[in-house]
Structure 1
Amino acid sequence: MELTGAQIIIECLKEQGVDTVFGYPGGTILNVYDELYKHSDEITHILTSHEQGAAHAADGYARATGKVGVCMATSGPGATNLVTGIATAYMDSIPVVAITCNVGVSLLGKDSFQEVDIKGVTMPITKHNFIVKDVTKLADTIRRSFYIAQSGRPGPVHIDIPKDITALKTEYEYQKPEEIHPQTDEIREEDLDKAVQLIARSERPFVFVGGGAVLSGASEELKQFVDKIQAPVADSLMGKGAYDGRSQNYTGMLGMHGTKTSNFGVTECDLLIVIGARFSDRVIGNSSTFAKNAKKIHIDVDAAEINKNIQCDCSIIGDAKVILRKLNARIEPLDHTDWLNHIYSLKQTYPMTYHKDVLTGPGVVEKIYAMTGGDAIIATEVGQNQMWAAQFFKYDRPRRLITSGGLGTMGFGLGAAIGAKLGCPNQLVFNIAGDGCFRMNMNELATASRYNIPVIEVILNNHVLGMVRQWQTLFYDQRYSNTILNDKVDYVKVAEALGARGIRVTSNEELGPALKEAMESDGPVVIECVIDCDDKVWPMVAPGASISEAFAEEDMQNGK
């Protein structure tokens, strides 16, 4: 049948099973929005307060569900407002399809009103991008974009469509989406054999899990692998929930704000098995001393990550779930009781602690965990709030922590929480925020109110940019340059003005009732938790130091 470009866009979204789109209309994309209006019973469109919020919501939807998130914007500033959200998804390998419309083909390159070369802008921050100047190629481009976003190492894809292409007509025929298969072409038998040999010879193996294990759905295979080789497990921020955070073998996060148990254990191990992680600088610290006594096995779907930051002794390229299944079939059960007992003793010696006599960030997160039993999706902003959410909530399954890891995007969490809640409507969804981050995109609270989306926004209000202040305290002789936010903003009134319920909490005694009220609400709630401006994230590794040099508050008090 013959359809316009705008109609083809909608039909292709329906082909791909898209049920929710986040966006903001404008002149060049009006034809598409006109068709969305006609198909509102099949595709729900969420009008965000800002295009960046749309990109973050699509990202959060994708992280929580495992499906492709979709966002839309018009040309010029509409398109450029998506850029931070696209880059956030790119850094964390999240499947998002961003659709923008541009000025007509004849006006491209002429500095037309609201014209930007958005394809050029997004090229470095997308897995692939397109500009469609021929309506006959539109459907296939959209289909290819969804395939690229999901296959191999996932990532965002951007499609730019000139306005006249959305009005032109061409033949359209329904196509069933191409099936996504795990990437296995580069899994080599000799690599598997070498890994098995290294594992068999090891006396002190340690498993480090990253976001790739979450994306590949490898949790069950990972558990079998860990049980078989009897190894402790640490994770990255992106790897949370791939391995059960309540397990005795779990040691916590690795790196700059990782536990001492993880940092010391990796330093002492003789074999480090890395699954779906990219050796971020925040994880490895000083690269020359990172796990220097260990052989290293790196399992990753992206060959470009192999030996990029850390040289490895063995690499297996391909889907982590498939690789672990193959390794599990080849490995004999091993006994590392003495090594595990040593790790357990480290956990006893270096527990995660905080001041429980006053309201603190860690205490708030632990209370949320206790009151939900861990059955909640936790979105975060970036900084201290993010680290506390990673450290003090036990993630027992994947896709429960929704956070900007690679890019570290302040203002990410609220939009992402909205997307996660729409993708998983039966789950409690919290966004843990600092007051600085909340200011970045607090306008999305109006989005939650407009659609009565019951997300719970928890603001850890220390009246400062907490993580930056922490660095200024420790490394800049307490020169607090532009990090103090002790002004007249009333977040409870802001919440109420934007249509949400606002609650202020200043003590531990007030926290439980406030959380109970929020969890029972059928609309958005903001809980402002007023904490001390000098609460810090512990442990910490100084920039450029070895992870074995992790220090905590008690170390500073003891002059270490």
Structure 2
Amino acid sequence: MTRQLAGHLIVECLAAQGVTHAFGVPGESFLAVLDGFHTYGEAVRFVTCRQEGGAAFMAEAHGKLTGRPGVCFVTRGPGATNASIGVHTAFQDSTPMVLFIGDVGSDFRDREAFQEVDFQSFFGPSTKGMAKRVERIDDAARIPEYIARAFATAMAGRPGPVVLVLPEDMLREMVDVPALPRVEPVPIGADAAAIARLQQMLMQAERPFVIAGGPGWTPAAARDLQCFAEAWQLPVGNAFRFQDTFDNHHPLYAGDVGIGINPALAQRVRDADLVLALGPRLGEMTTGGYTLLQAPRPLQTLVHVHAGADELNRVYQADLAINATPGPLAAALAVLPAPASVPWAENTRAAAADYLANLVPQPLPGDIDMPAIVAALQKHLPADAVLTNGAGNFASWVHRFFRHHGLAKGHKTQLAPTVGAMGYGVPAGIAASIATGRTAFTIAGDGDFLMNGQELATAMQHGGKSIVLLLDNGMFGTIRMHQEREYPTNVGANSGTRLHNPDFCALAQAYGYAAEKVVRTEEFEPALQRALARDTGTLILVPLDPEVISTRGTLAAITRKALTQLG
């Protein structure tokens, strides 16, 4: 057994866990680990990012794509607090992730030393915290134990982030302990009696509805879900920002249950007599602010399946709560005997028809037809392309009009923050491109892009090739929309929401990306084709009429019209 620096052992342990990429910003507090990446560089690639928030988003996106913990390294104090946005995203999105923080030396601890932070208090694990576990490694010989436990914890039950704190002096110790073997997630099987009761509930139902989503879905589980839905002719909606769980092209698909939900779909969920929530946490966005399903006791009969036992009956008191991970659950449902016919078949067909009708756009002002642009994406992007976005009104265009083929086809294709974090889309797309080599397409708003646009430099340095569609309307559109709804007497005031933007094309080119400006709809399709053919990334800038801030129409214009009619 070779004696080595503790910092080197950490990288060896990551390699043993199957880690291929670690994202981060270098810091003097973990120089020994950086030296370890030099030694084990062929096994684990350190991706040098430009800001810790972008690095943490990349790690979170990697965790979403692979189902195994995404890894991020940052330094103490400012580095860790910058990275906290990615940890919070991983927590609310139920994404496995491990954040390593280089910390002050043990001899300086508890003196408020340079950049010192109490990470137990800051990330404190709880149902309201940011991490599932926060641990400090003071004994270098126990590094393999801590890392194996971190990976196991991150993937167990409801997945989430784990924080490991690395004192600088500990990393410089010499050790001769081996890395532990790769940890695999422990599947939670569905109880046979519970599945039998679910079957009985279905037999008694007249208007059932499935909401699928949450973490842990694999292509095999998604195919089993599809078999179950087909056997029972069930209408299926995907939970908020888990739109790739069930194939959007399938005749049983009813639409996404999230922000900007189709009103017909919302009513269908309310009118259901049985809701099968298979995997989602049933958070605020999926439940329409806890109105589609009333908390704590829904009007509908509720079957809630979730991998985290603590999530069951925490917000909603379910008629049947099943603690199971998607794989075993879907496998059990796929072979559940179904009757020859069901009384809700016509309701299922109507739900699918409502979804298709909602894909028909309404006229919008200006020279840019966003639904037509999304149609061009549908036509030219490969079926396994990864679509990413941050938070903002702009995201609703792809959420409503783009149709994911779904995990059943073999790939996860949506990376979007259910936590609603701005600045997520650009680094997530870059991480997807670097780690998978698949086409990565990002839609971003001007405010959203400027939060992490600097990571285009990371893409250029590490061979990433993302395509960024940047919608520039000169404002924080979502907040403007809320302003005009909540304070209509101040319509047009734009308090705090107007943006003075740079020349985005010149900025992208300065980083090394190609850049094109599209001012008419017909210019977008050839620009997209050129972007797909390039060896480097591309930014496509689309100036958008400020009135076009909602897929339901021009909300600002509608508000003004209503005020005019009211005198």
TM-score, length-normalised on structure 2?
Answer: 0.90
Q: 2:154 matched to 1:149?
A: yes
AA aligned opposite 1:409 = A
The 1:194–1:491 alpha-carbon spacing in structure 2 relative to 1, beyond 3 Å, is same
CA displacement 1:31-88 (0-9 Å, x = unmatched) = 1111212222222111111111111111112222333211101112112211111111
Q: 2:342 matched to 1:307?
A: no
Q: Report which stretch shifted further, 504-513 or 146-155.
A: 146-155
Tell which has more relative contact order, 1 or 2 (C-alpha 8 A, sep 6+). Answer: 1
Tell me if structure 1 keeps the 8 A contact 2:67–2:216.
no
Shift in Å at residue 363 of structure 1?
3.2
Q: How does 1:202-351 map to 2 (within 5 A)?
A: 202-212=205-215, 214=217, 218-285=221-288, 287=290, 290=293, 294-336=300-342, 337-347=345-355, 350-351=358-359
Specify which of 172, 175, 178 is matched with residue 167 of structure 1: 172
CA displacement 1:108-155 (0-9 Å, x = unmatched) = 111111222223212221111210111121121011111211222211
Partner SS for 1:81: helix
CA distance in 2, matches of 1:446, 1:145: 31
Q: How does 1:114-133 map to 2 (within 5 A)?
A: 114-123=115-124, 124-133=129-138
Shift in Å at residue 2 of structure 1?
2.7
CA distance in 2, matches of 1:350, 1:80: 42
Tell me if structure 2 keeps the 8 A contact 1:360–1:532.
no
CA distance in 1, matches of 2:388, 2:79: 25
AA aligned opposite 1:411 = G
The 1:466–1:166 alpha-carbon spacing in structure 2 relative to 1, beyond 3 Å, is same
Shift in Å at residue 342 of structure 1?
3.1
Partner SS for 2:71: strand
Q: 2:201 matched to 1:201?
A: no
Tell me if structure 2 keeps the 8 A contact 1:216–1:321.
no
Tell me if structure 2 keeps the 8 A contact 1:435–1:459.
yes
Tell me the equivalent position of 1:457.
468
Tell me if structure 2 keeps the 8 A contact 1:205–1:269.
yes
CA displacement 1:230-279 (0-9 Å, x = unmatched) = 11111122321111011121111124411233212212222111111122
Q: Report which stretch shifted further, 12-21 or 256-265.
A: 256-265
Tell me if structure 2 keeps the 8 A contact 1:60–1:418.
no
Tell me the equivalent position of 1:64.
65
CA distance in 2, matches of 1:152, 1:415: 27
Shift in Å at residue 485 of structure 1?
3.5
CA distance in 2, matches of 1:25, 1:373: 35
AA aligned opposite 1:148 = T
The 1:553–1:94 alpha-carbon spacing in structure 2 relative to 1, beyond 3 Å, is farther
Q: How does 1:422-441 map to 2 (within 5 A)?
A: 422-425=434-437, 427-441=438-452
Tell me the equivalent position of 1:94.
95
Tell me if structure 2 keeps the 8 A contact 1:65–1:420.
no
Shift in Å at residue 517 of structure 1?
1.2
CA displacement 1:202-231 (0-9 Å, x = unmatched) = 122111112236369620111011011111
Tell me the equivalent position of 1:417.
429
Shift in Å at residue 443 of structure 1?
0.9
Q: How does 1:470-509 map to 2 (within 5 A)?
A: 470-477=481-488, 478=491, 480-509=493-522
CA distance in 1, matches of 2:151, 2:38: 23
The 1:471–1:363 alpha-carbon spacing in structure 2 relative to 1, beyond 3 Å, is farther
Shift in Å at residue 557 of structure 1?
12
Partner SS for 1:281: coil
Tell me if structure 1 keeps the 8 A contact 2:359–2:401.
no
Tell me the equivalent position of 2:549.
536
CA distance in 2, matches of 1:476, 1:372: 40
Tell me if structure 1 keeps the 8 A contact 2:89–2:419.
yes
Partner SS for 2:123: helix
Question: Is there any run of 5+ residues in structure 2 with no aligned partner, and where?
Answer: none
Tell me if structure 2 keeps the 8 A contact 1:48–1:54.
yes
Partner SS for 2:217: helix
Q: 2:142 matched to 1:137?
A: yes
The 1:103–1:143 alpha-carbon spacing in structure 2 relative to 1, beyond 3 Å, is same
Q: 2:85 matched to 1:84?
A: yes
Question: Is there any run of 5+ residues in structure 1 with no aligned partner, and where?
Answer: 543-550
Tell me the equivalent position of 1:364.
373
Q: Report which stretch shifted further, 55-64 or 390-399.
A: 390-399
Partner SS for 1:214: coil
Specify which of 167, 172, 181 is matched with residue 176 of structure 1: 181
CA displacement 1:313-360 (0-9 Å, x = unmatched) = 111111122123223333324523222233345346654424378314
Tell me the equivalent position of 2:21.
20
CA distance in 2, matches of 1:164, 1:347: 58
Percent identity, aligned pairs only, is 26
CA distance in 2, matches of 1:226, 1:506: 43
CA distance in 2, matches of 1:338, 1:86: 44
Tell me if structure 2 keeps the 8 A contact 1:380–1:389.
no
CA distance in 2, matches of 1:305, 1:507: 47
Tell me the equivalent position of 1:548.
none
The 1:407–1:370 alpha-carbon spacing in structure 2 relative to 1, beyond 3 Å, is same
Shift in Å at residue 431 of structure 1?
1.0
CA displacement 1:447-483 (0-9 Å, x = unmatched) = 1122342111110111111111122223321264445
Q: Report which stretch shifted further, 398-407 or 172-181.
A: 398-407
CA distance in 2, matches of 1:480, 1:310: 40
Tell me the equivalent position of 2:37.
36
Q: What is the count of residue pairs matched by the alignment?
A: 547
Shift in Å at residue 293 of structure 1?
5.2
